[in-house]
Amino acid sequence: MKRESVSSMTKRVKGSCTTVLVGKKASIDGSTIISRNDDGHEALDPQRFVVVQPEDQPRNYQAVISGVKVELPDNPMRYTSMPNSILTNGIWPAAGINSENIAMSATETITTNPRIQGIDPYVGGGIGEEDLVTLVLPYIHSAKEGVERLGALLKQYGTYEPNGIAFSDQDDVWWLETIGGHHWAAVRIPDDAYVVAPNRMNIDDFDFDSADTLCSDDLQALIEDNHLNPDFEGYNLRHIFGSSSIKDTVYNNPRAWYGQKYFTPEVEQDPMDQDLPFICHANRKISIEDVKFVLSSHFENTKYDPYGDGTEAEKTLIRPIGINRNHNVHILQIRNGVPAEIAGVHWLAYGANTFNTVVPFYSNVNDTPACYKDATGTFDMNNMYWLSCATALLGDTDYNFYVDFRNTFELQAMSAYHGIQNETDKAVADQSDVQKFLEAANEKLAEESFTRQTKLFGDMVISGSEKMKLRYNLND
């Protein structure tokens, strides 16, 4: 999650994002997918989509929030990044794909409890969400290596907050959760599985002897020596280190419930259940459109939908996934069955997710389209971030009136993006300069997206003007 402006560590605000992870056998095309709504405390926080070149990567990094100094290696790779436009509180890169097609999304703010905090308290001068992509993504050659590098940094520097971080490559998806100031645990997501992770400790059953788990060297001993396990058998890390609070029942658990309800509708569950499963299996193969729907959702077809027919108490009881505090949604896809030059796709949209579409930008490029790159803190309808925010705001004034405009726009826009992507994929083998060719494809995608988003906004303004309250029916 992105946070409001902070002038000191004591003013940090916690709690926001939603993550969806998909293994390669669970996706429709055999790709791995890690995705997240990058939400914040404030409704607006302008975002940019950039490429960081090796020569622009810092060698002596210093965080703004904690002041931690980290000396970085001399061999960084190129990577896509999504920094804040206003850098008062640091870069906050959010997510990206590096030149070896390794993806990272950081972070999902999670929960903790006082038992672990009393043993391994947070480190005020440690690393946090502001820093992690910059410190890890340019240096890793596999998803597992990402877990190992971040784990070593946590051991050395500590962290001042609890976070969940996703990594992926063509074969693997890994999920790491920080525990206390210096500890952590990570799970390789099974190839045939998916995960919906809200702002809570998400890892449940954990096998310390499995090849598909990694953790701090002393984590099992820490649990045993300090009597942290409330269960009679096994190790459920959510029970051991998580919160299980009343807030979780209305802020976190329902988001996992709705995502699982969408992907696995035959399983009946309680939206407030503290023990909703971490690893899940869908009743079909999952598409990019499926992931985007979940990350845009607001409990459609339930009494909890803020735009629905429930009572006012029901409509405001639980926190939606799609919300006014969505600053960007990124879906990082590492494809199989295509040349490595086009395997990484950084799908992206800005603003509240109810009235936008994700665009499939190729990550193997040296630059990004201006309308996605150049947002500032000044409102500007020529920039995709501000155009998306304006469209969502207008749509919120009468969702049921505007939703058909949105549905038509989304269908037609996604069809156009897939068409451009299919043409680009087929032609890439004939190109002498692949990166320039992909940059041109990204420009075409951005132009298509911006044109269609502008048309959607215009259609909504024209049609909505007839419904304004400031009108009188008797003609002069």
Q: Would you please indicate which residues are annotated as catalytic (active-site) residues?
A: 17
Contact, 153 vs 127, CB < 8 A? yes
CA distance 452 to 392: 14
Category of 65 on φ-ψ map: left (φ > 0), alpha (ψ -120 to 50) or beta: alpha
Residue 380 phi/psi, 5-degree rounding, is -155, 110
76 DSSP 8-state letter: P
Contact 276, 257 (CB under 8 A): yes
Containing 215, the helix (H) or strand (E) segment is strand 213-215
How far is 148 from 416, CA to CA, in rounded Å? 39
Cβ atoms 22, 334 nearer than 8 A: no
Q: How far is CA 225 from the centre of its chain?
A: 35
- The C-alpha atoms of residue 279 and residue 99 are separated, in whole angstroms, by 29
CA–CA dist 236, 230 (Å, integer): 9
**Helices (runs of H) and strands (runs of E) counted in the chain:** 13, 16
Residue spans of beta strands (DSSP E) within 314-438: 326-334, 344-350, 359-362
Q: Which helix or strand (DSSP H or E) is residue 308 part of?
A: none
Exposed e or buried b per residue across 111-125, where buried means at least 16 C-beta atoms within 10 angstroms of its C-beta: bbbeebeebbebbee
The alpha carbon dihedral of 323, 325, 327, 328 has a sign of negative
